[in-house]
Amino acid sequence: MHVQQHTLTRQSVLYSEKIAEDVFILGFQKNFDFEPGQVVGISVEENGPRRLYSICSGKEEDHIAILYNVVDEGYLTPRLSSLFAGDSIWVTEPRGDFLYDPGPSFWIASGTGIAPFYSMLKSGNFDRKILLHGERHLEKFYFYDEFYDTLGHNYIRCCSGEEDPAVFHGRVTGYLRSLPSLPLHYKYYLCGRAEMVVETRDILIERDIPFNHIISEIYF
C-alpha cells in the first residue's frame, strides 16, 4: 500500500543490518509510542513515495526497527538497503489494528510477516501463542533462538524449499491441513503475502473457525 496522507517526521537511521539474502533490519530513532502489531509509513525523501512496514521491535526498546525484503524492481527497498547510520528517513506516526490479543491464538506468518509477532514477543506478549512461520529457505528463520527460547514446541518452522529434521517440510498451509483439528476458541492472526493469507483463511473457514477469530494483515 502506498501511504499518502500522514504527517512524516525526519528520523536518523541508527543501523542497517543485512540478516539474510535480500533481507534487512533497519533501526531508527524513536519519537512515538506504539502498540505491537502497528505499522509505520516510511520514505527516503521528504515528499517521496512511502511504503508501509510493520514495527519489528519491542514497545520498551529505545529505537524502532523494521524488517524488510529488498524487491529488486521496487522503488523504496533498494534505496532503504543502501542507507547507513546517520542518514535520514521520513516516518509517519504508527497505526493499524493488527494488535495483540491476550487470549489463546495461532500466529501464522510468511516471510517478513513475522515482524509484528516479533514485536509482540519483544514486548512480553506471548502467553498461549502458537507460532507458525513459513519460509522457503532455512536461513530465513530470523529470530529463531528468541522464538524457540520463549515458545518452545509452540514455535513451528515450515520450510518449503529445504529439509531439516527439526522443521516441517512444506508451507504453513500444508502444516495446518496436516492437523486433525483446529481449536475453535483460538484466534488466528495471519500476516504476510496475500497468497498465504487467502489460502490460510480458506482452510480456517473450511474448519469452521468463526470469521471474527480470523485477523489478517496482508503485505501488498
**Residue 214 Cα distances to 31, 68, 101, 136, angstroms:** 32, 24, 12, 24
Q: Which C-beta is closer to ligand FAD: that of 51 or that of 157?
A: 51
Candidates 64-72, 123-131, 150-158, 173-181: pick the segment binding ligand FAD (CB under 6 A): 64-72
Q: What share of the chain is helix, strand, coil (3-state, %, to 5)?
A: 25, 35, 40
The count of residues interacting with ligand FAD (CB under 6 A) is 21
Q: Which amino acid is at 187?
A: K
d(CA 75, CA 96): 23
Of all residues in the shown chain, the one whose CB is closest to ligand FAD is 74
Q: Is 22 left (phi over 0), alpha (psi -120 to 50) or beta?
A: left
Q: Which C-beta is closer to ligand FAD: that of 72 or that of 145?
A: 72
90 binds ligand FAD (CB under 6 A): no
The DSSP code sequence of 129-198 is EEEEEEESSGGG-TTHHHHHHHHGGGEEEEESSS--TTSEES-HHHHHHHSS---TTSEEEEEEEHHHHH
- CA-wise closest residue to 65 among 108, 23, 7, 21: 23
Q: Which C-beta is closer to ligand FAD: that of 118 or that of 186?
A: 118
Report residue 9 as a C-alpha cell.
517526521
Contacts (CB under 6 A) with ligand FAD, residues 65-84: 66-69, 71, 73-77
Q: Cell 525526519: give the residue.
A: 10
**At its nearest, how many Å lie between ligand FAD and the CB of residue 206?**
26
- CA-wise closest residue to 217 among 32, 1, 3, 35: 1
Contacts (CB under 6 A) with ligand FAD, residues 21-40: 39
Q: Which C-beta is closer to ligand FAD: that of 37 or that of 157?
A: 37
219 binds ligand FAD (CB under 6 A): yes
Bridge partners of 43, per DSSP, are 90
Candidates 14-22, 25-33, 49-57, 199-207: pick the segment binding ligand FAD (CB under 6 A): 49-57
57 binds ligand FAD (CB under 6 A): no
**At its nearest, how many Å lie between ligand FAD and the CB of residue 42?**
8
Options 11, 38, 43, 54; binder of ligand FAD; rule CB under 6 A: 54
Contacts (CB under 6 A) with ligand FAD, residues 1-20: 1
**Which residues sit at the interface with ligand FAD, rule CB under 6 A?**
1, 39, 51-54, 66-69, 71, 73-77, 112, 115, 217, 219-220
